[in-house]
Amino acid sequence: MQSLQDKASEWSGVKREDAFAIDEVNLFQKLGLQTFVNLSTKFYNRVYDDDEEWFRSIFGNSKKEDAIQNQYEFFVQRMGGPPLYSQRKGHPALIGRHRPFPVTHRAAERWLHHMQLALDETPDIDADSKDRMIKFFRHTAFFLVAGDEMKNQNLQTQCKHGIQQSAAP
């Protein structure tokens, strides 16, 4: 059976070692907290104002300022900075915390579209850092698509099992 990380690599076109090249440099030290706040603010300004209602509605139950904080705190923690996310919310548990959302291939591509533009609009991020971050984001987005498919497959198997049980004499 193909692992989550193998599916992520195949679908994203990004090898795992390229996705985690974020760990070869301390991006938090290089870029600083404010750059991450700016990036997530630009990203969610786009998302909450997206013309594509199907994508915008995925975020409909969250406040924009919460979404921004959750995201930059995770990025800071994962990219060499203080563990801001865990201090406030515990484990990132990326797949578990995305369970309520339909993380489809199409949603991943739309997320990445907005993130690419947000990166382009954040001039404090140099070309090398941007390249590392894009690969990390692309691999991670499709890792979450793989997590979403696993959820749906489990649902189908378990429901079938449940229906067979209740149909038994």
Q: Which residues bind a copy of itself (CB under 8 A)?
A: 3-5, 8, 16-17, 19-20, 23, 82-83, 86-87, 89-97, 99, 139-140, 143, 147, 150-151, 154-155, 158-159, 162-163, 166
Output 69 or 140, the one with its CB closest to a copy of itself.
140
104 φ/ψ angles, rounded to the nearest 5 degrees: -90, 170
Output 117 or 159, the one with its CB closest to a copy of itself.
159
Output 106 or 161, the one with its CB closest to a copy of itself.
161
Q: Least CB distance from residue 91 to a copy of itself, whole Å?
A: 5
Which two structure tokens, joined as six digits, stand for 81? 């900075």
Q: Least CB distance from residue 109 to a copy of itself, whole Å?
A: 19
Contact 59, 48 (CB under 8 A): yes
Q: d(Cα 41, Cα 21) in Å, to the nearest integer?
A: 24
Which two structure tokens, joined as six digits, stand for 24? 């070869």
Q: d(Cα 117, Cα 149) in Å, to the nearest integer?
A: 27
The residue type found at 23 is D
Output 3 or 51, the one with its CB closest to a copy of itself.
3
68 φ/ψ angles, rounded to the nearest 5 degrees: -60, -50
Q: Least CB distance from residue 7 to a copy of itself, whole Å?
A: 10
